[in-house]
Structure 1
Amino acid sequence: MISVVIGAADQSVAYELRAALGEMDGVEVQFVVETTSELVAAVLRLEPDVVLVHDQLGPDPALQAVRDLSLRRPGCALLVVTASADTSQFTMAMDVGARGVVAFPPAYEDLRARITAAGEWSQQMRRILAAPRDAGVLSGPGRARVIAFAGAKGGVGTTTVATHLALDVLRNLPGHRVCLVDLDLEKGDVSGILEVRHRTSVADVAKVSEDLSAQAVADAVVLHESGLGLLLAPADVRDIEAVHPQSLREVFAVLRHEYDLVVVDAGAHVTPVQAAAVELADEVVMLTTPDVLALRGLRRTITQWEGLGVRKESDLHVLVNRVSRQSSVSAETIRQLTRAPVLSAGLPAMFRRLEPVINSRSPLELRDDVWWKALRAVGHEVQVAPGAPAVAAEPVKGRSRRRGKDDGQAAIEVVGTLPVLLFTLLVIWQLVLFGMTFVWSGHAASAAARAVSVGQDPAVAARAGVPGGLAGDLSVSTSGSTVTVNLPVPMVVPGTASFPGGVETSRTVVMEP
């Protein structure tokens, strides 16, 4: 069965093509679309054998859509439907990757022959592309898979994740050709993370995109010591103007032929260049962190992409970075806020462990397996390297996990602060005892003064007016009409020891008539 998708804005053209194909045995029309963006989305989703594209399809140029689809789905046979099937039209169609031209209105037998031939070519091409390769490594120029990482806002870790993922793929698949493209043109920092000095950039190949060759791209790519190819952002802000969507399409076309995997750092700002990268990529991963500002940025960026017609929300993935139990926003909450699939392999919050390797600009010196396993799980979910063995990420438990690794440090800190804590409590308790002594000394002096006024023993009355633990060291003296009580301040435990001296309180005796 040959599956077909039709792209035609003219209803009469779409109807006639669908009617003719409906009469053919072994041919099934899967979908009919009316715009170029709908055509790209339908082909990427359905992966038909044959795609019929009317040359009047819009709003983007139909031949541009044919070029994009031929790069992104090399196994699909694209046929251009035109009312002027002359030599120039045929040449332009071949230049953008079409398999042929169909004259409109089509003759039934001619259309059947072209659909059959295109379907057979598509099925044969897919068998070739699906053929196993030794050790999972492509031999010779292939069709690279393009994975674009974009940030919901600045500072969510887009550059770090894209760079570390590209390095890890290269480390685990020796011989795999990986290129990292920095398309955060104004503030790109891939060169900073890897400590790479460069004179050439993506702007240099964009300037010659109309006559671009593989050698020109190779000359602009900086080779990192790990073997990773780097196509970096321009150092001079004035060169940014040279990079535009059309030039980027040509650059990506060459990269797909020369590498097995192209990882793109698309930055966090919606620009024409970012939109083009998002549209051309096989997979798009939007990074966010579990906080309100990042989620607002996520929603805003996705809305802008959909408004530009470059990527639907359901056609991208959301990756939650810096997962922690202390976060007020859970992964489940994020799933409820977006229709895009949220990757189950979230990345843990690892500020302290990532900071040294970021500062030293040596990502591969990070020895923490939790981080690398989490990255490999992300790569497996978005298929950065189809056919590579899956690596299960350890459960991300946020703070609870880190607490388990910091138990020894926490115990040392508690032991170190315990004496200070005990001393502080002791001082506070002694101050309390001093205050109690002052109060009870006043009570004892008042009791002694009343006893003298009625002819009783003042010492007995004073001791009866204070608690038993304080009464043992109490002394009473009289001088004329004044009674003085001295009550020592106990040390820690009343009745055991006292400070020298004490608290003296005097009262005047009022004689009874």
Structure 2
Amino acid sequence: MSTRILPAVGDADAARAITTLLSQLPDAEPAGPLGDSTSLLDTLARLAGESLDELPEVVLVHERIGPVPALELIREVALRFPAVGVVLVTADASPGLYSAAMDSGARGLVGLPLSYEELAQRVQAAAGWSVGVRRHLGAGADVLTGPSGTVVTVSGAKGGVGTTVTAVQLALAAKASGHTVALVDLDLQSGDVASYLDVQFRRSIVDLSTIQDISPRVLQDALFNHDTGLGLLLAPSEGERAEEVSDRVVRQIISALRHRFEIVVIDCGTHMNTANAAAIEMADRTLLVATPDVVTVRAAKRMVRLWDRLQIRKAEETITVVNRYTRNTEIQPPLIERITATKVARIVVPANFKELHAVVDAGRMQDLEAKSTVKQALWGLAGDLGLVKHTEGAQKQGRLKGDRGSFGGRRGRTT
């Protein structure tokens, strides 16, 4: 039986050396090296979505991989794809690093400069462990096919563009269709999800910041079970505690939420930090909310460029949601698409402020009327994003009907 090996190497010289040695290993099927952590996680997720059998037995992670640090990447792979054996390639073969790598979930460590004998031994051991795990689980191996939940992040190009309203309504739409849904407030300094849904809850995401391994019980204790059926993970009431939530914590939390909920919607706010950067990188779909005005479109372009420089999301992988749209505005969705180089959502959200005033002031966003054109558009957007199970069932509740019974109706679409 051949061993499939997927190397993730950020250094070009190291990539050539590793590729050369891997090609000499007996019964090995090495794939082409991936240059960053995002490519590795995306590739594994795609393969896992097809079948467990498509996942490689061994993943090699070079110490200079980025943007996610090597040990954090190993932890993420081990959490999301536990049937894959991960081997760290590093110049530091000290007992301290070896222990840290094992704690993160690595199955071995190979020192630099590379030795054929050592590489072959570590790869063989990791592959044997991977095969043993899959054989042991047998018919239950479908639990190892990676995350089952879909993660959607919602960010604002600037403050006040409707980021939280969008995130809340997408989550409500997904829940109404029958999905299990978590709504996470990652606007850590000024999150308003609790205010929009009339929630008073002492626990927050900060309570998970010191937990090394987030078990289902620990996660449940931090979640607020809202009467709409949403599981809420809220931002801290003290904004200064935002610094306690690191990118490592966010990655663990998202991985835990993926395995419990079918849909995870994350309100990332408008200010970038390491926490929401990690969420955007891990997301299956990334939304950027913008209004059709010059200042906001420029801000959207800056945000997209920032994500690209941070190597967390490419412009063409970002969906821009146009909020507060009017037909007579000079800046139309096609222009926004060209300026930002993103994909603009087919459904736009109309500028009907009066519909929102009462529910926002009351903190009862869940009570927004079904006939609201804003709600129709946002629930229609949820349908376009694949966040609803079946349109027909939701329409019977009168919650996704537009002017003609379609997602968003005529007033919620571009012309």
Corresponding residue of 1:275: 277
Equivalent residue letter for 1:180: L
Equivalent residue letter for 2:217: Q
Corresponding residue of 2:324: 322
Corresponding residue of 2:261: 259
Residue 82 in structure 1 maps to residue 92 in structure 2: no
Residue 67 in structure 1 maps to residue 70 in structure 2: no
Aligned counterparts, 1:157-176, within 5 A: 157-173=162-178, 176=179
The farther-off stretch of 53-62 and 179-188 is 53-62
Preserved CA contact (<8 Å) 2:346 2:414:
no
Secondary structure at the residue paired with 1:32? coil
Return closer, same or farther for 1:42/1:189 CA change in 2, 3 Å cut-off: same
- When normalised by structure 1's length, the TM-score is 0.64
Quote the offset at 1:59 in angstroms: 6.1
Distance 1:352 1:262 in 2: 29
Return closer, same or farther for 1:395/1:146 CA change in 2, 3 Å cut-off: same
Distance 1:310 1:257 in 2: 22
Unaligned runs of 5+ in 2: 49-53, 393-405
Equivalent residue letter for 2:9: A
Quote the offset at 1:339 in angstroms: 2.5
Distance 2:360 2:381 in 1: 20
Equivalent residue letter for 1:63: L
The farther-off stretch of 35-44 and 298-307 is 35-44
Quote the offset at 1:333 in angstroms: 1.0
Equivalent residue letter for 1:29: A
Quote the offset at 1:245 in angstroms: 2.2
Quote the offset at 1:157 in angstroms: 1.0
Equivalent residue letter for 2:89: T
Return closer, same or farther for 1:128/1:214 CA change in 2, 3 Å cut-off: closer
Aligned residues with identical type, % of pairs: 30
Equivalent residue letter for 2:274: P
Distance 2:199 2:286 in 1: 26
Secondary structure at the residue paired with 2:349? coil
Preserved CA contact (<8 Å) 2:324 2:349:
yes
Quote the offset at 1:362 in angstroms: 2.7
Secondary structure at the residue paired with 1:253? helix
The farther-off stretch of 148-157 and 51-60 is 51-60
Return closer, same or farther for 1:109/1:63 CA change in 2, 3 Å cut-off: closer
From 58, 63, 72, the equivalent of 1:55 is 63
Corresponding residue of 2:396: none
Return closer, same or farther for 1:37/1:170 CA change in 2, 3 Å cut-off: closer
The farther-off stretch of 368-377 and 213-222 is 368-377
Return closer, same or farther for 1:168/1:346 CA change in 2, 3 Å cut-off: same
Distance 2:410 2:131 in 1: 46
Secondary structure at the residue paired with 1:150? strand
Corresponding residue of 1:178: 181
Quote the offset at 1:224 in angstroms: 1.3
Quote the offset at 1:70 in angstroms: 4.2
Return closer, same or farther for 1:38/1:179 CA change in 2, 3 Å cut-off: closer
Preserved CA contact (<8 Å) 1:79 1:102:
no
Return closer, same or farther for 1:26/1:295 CA change in 2, 3 Å cut-off: same
Equivalent residue letter for 1:171: A
Quote the offset at 1:80 in angstroms: 1.4
Quote the offset at 1:105 in angstroms: 2.6
Residue 7 in structure 1 maps to residue 4 in structure 2: no
Preserved CA contact (<8 Å) 1:357 1:363:
yes
Distance 1:399 1:56 in 2: 46
Aligned counterparts, 1:20-419, within 5 A: 20-22=21-23, 27=29, 29-33=31-35, 35-36=36-37, 39-40=40-41, 49-50=55-56, 51-58=59-66, 60-71=68-79, 74=81, 77-82=84-89, 92-98=100-106, 104-107=114-117, 110=121, 111=123, 118=130, 128=142, 143-173=148-178, 176-206=179-209, 208-210=210-212, 212-365=214-367, 366-368=369-371, 371-384=374-387, 388-389=389-390, 392-397=406-411
Q: What does the per-residue CA deviation read over 1:364-384, in whole Å, with 9 as the maximum and x for residues that have no partner?
A: 331227545533443344344
Distance 2:328 2:46 in 1: 38
Return closer, same or farther for 1:228/1:305 CA change in 2, 3 Å cut-off: same
Relative contact order, higher structure (CA 8 A, sep 6+): 2
Return closer, same or farther for 1:46/1:311 CA change in 2, 3 Å cut-off: farther
Secondary structure at the residue paired with 2:328? coil
Secondary structure at the residue paired with 1:397? helix
Equivalent residue letter for 1:79: V
Secondary structure at the residue paired with 1:284? strand
Q: What does the per-residue CA deviation read over 1:336-355, in whole Å, with 9 as the maximum and x for residues that have no partner?
A: 11222222232233323233
Distance 1:120 1:161 in 2: 45
Corresponding residue of 1:421: none
Quote the offset at 1:325 in angstroms: 0.8
Equivalent residue letter for 2:104: V
Return closer, same or farther for 1:372/1:127 CA change in 2, 3 Å cut-off: farther
Q: What does the per-residue CA deviation read over 1:283-339, in whole Å, with 9 as the maximum and x for residues that have no partner?
A: 211111111121111111122222223222233222222232122111111121122
